Amino acid sequence: MAKHSSRDVPGRVKFRVIEFELDGSDTALQDAIKGLSTALAGSRAQTPVKRLTSGNGALPSAVVEDSINADGAEEETQDGVSEAPETSRPRTTGKPRAVARPKVIDLDLTSGDLPLKAFLEQENPTNDSRRYLMIAYWLKHQRQITSIGTNHIYTAYRSMGWNNIPADPLLPFRNMRTQGWFDLGEKRGEYTLNHVGEGKVGNQK
């Protein structure tokens, strides 16, 4: 019968035949066959592995293997708690933080020898920082209110007909605190005009 080489067919088929010659009693032959079957089955067994995911759900560069012990149980950490794979965590999107909208509060801005409107028209502040500064000064000296927040400013803005309060109402406070004109107030989100800031009243620089 003619032999066919690997070039005669489109693909190659490889066969491996293992021939064993055993000599002994039936019991000995049965034991030998069982041992051989066990050896062959063991060579095909795959060791289970435990893979950890990174924060974005992808596999890290190093895959942790051998996390299953000989009995098939998960390895435990030093404190005796089984270590579970890390779960994916959503990343922050960098969205601007939500700012609470200020509201009108009960403030007397009209009584006395120098109402707020007259004072602000006299000083004529031209930007938000100057407006915040003048309102804080007036509240401190005309109403003895030293610790103020965005609600005080917003109420004063509305009384003056100024509707364009900054999108971040605390920003002018933070900027002037950086310049040393304000200190932190008694409550969260409030600020106190200090002597340096008072010295800027009447000074447009």
Domain assignments of the chain as residue spans, ordered by start? 116-198
Residues 126-159: pLDDT tens digits? 999 999 999 999 999 999 999 999 999 999 999 9
- Is 103:156 a contact under the CB 8 Å cutoff? no
How crowded is residue 138: how many other Cβ atoms within 10 Å of its Cβ? 22
Q: Give the separation between CA 85 and CA 151, rounded to whole angstroms.
A: 48
Mean pLDDT of the chain: 75
- CATH architecture, domain defined by 116-198: Orthogonal Bundle (1.10)
Residues 109-124: pLDDT tens digits? 999 999 999 999 999 9
Burial class (CB in 10 A: 0-12, 13-18, 19+), 181: buried
The arithmetic mean of pLDDT across residues 26-51, rounded, is: 62
pTM (2 d.p.): 0.54
pLDDT score at 180: 98
pLDDT score at 56: 54
Of 162 and 54, more confident: 162
Residue 167 has pLDDT above 90, yes or no: yes
- Is 180:137 a contact under the CB 8 Å cutoff? no
- Beginning with the edge strand found earlier in the chain, give each strand of the sheet holding 191-193 in spatial order: 147-148, 191-193, 182-184
Residue 101 has pLDDT above 70, yes or no: yes
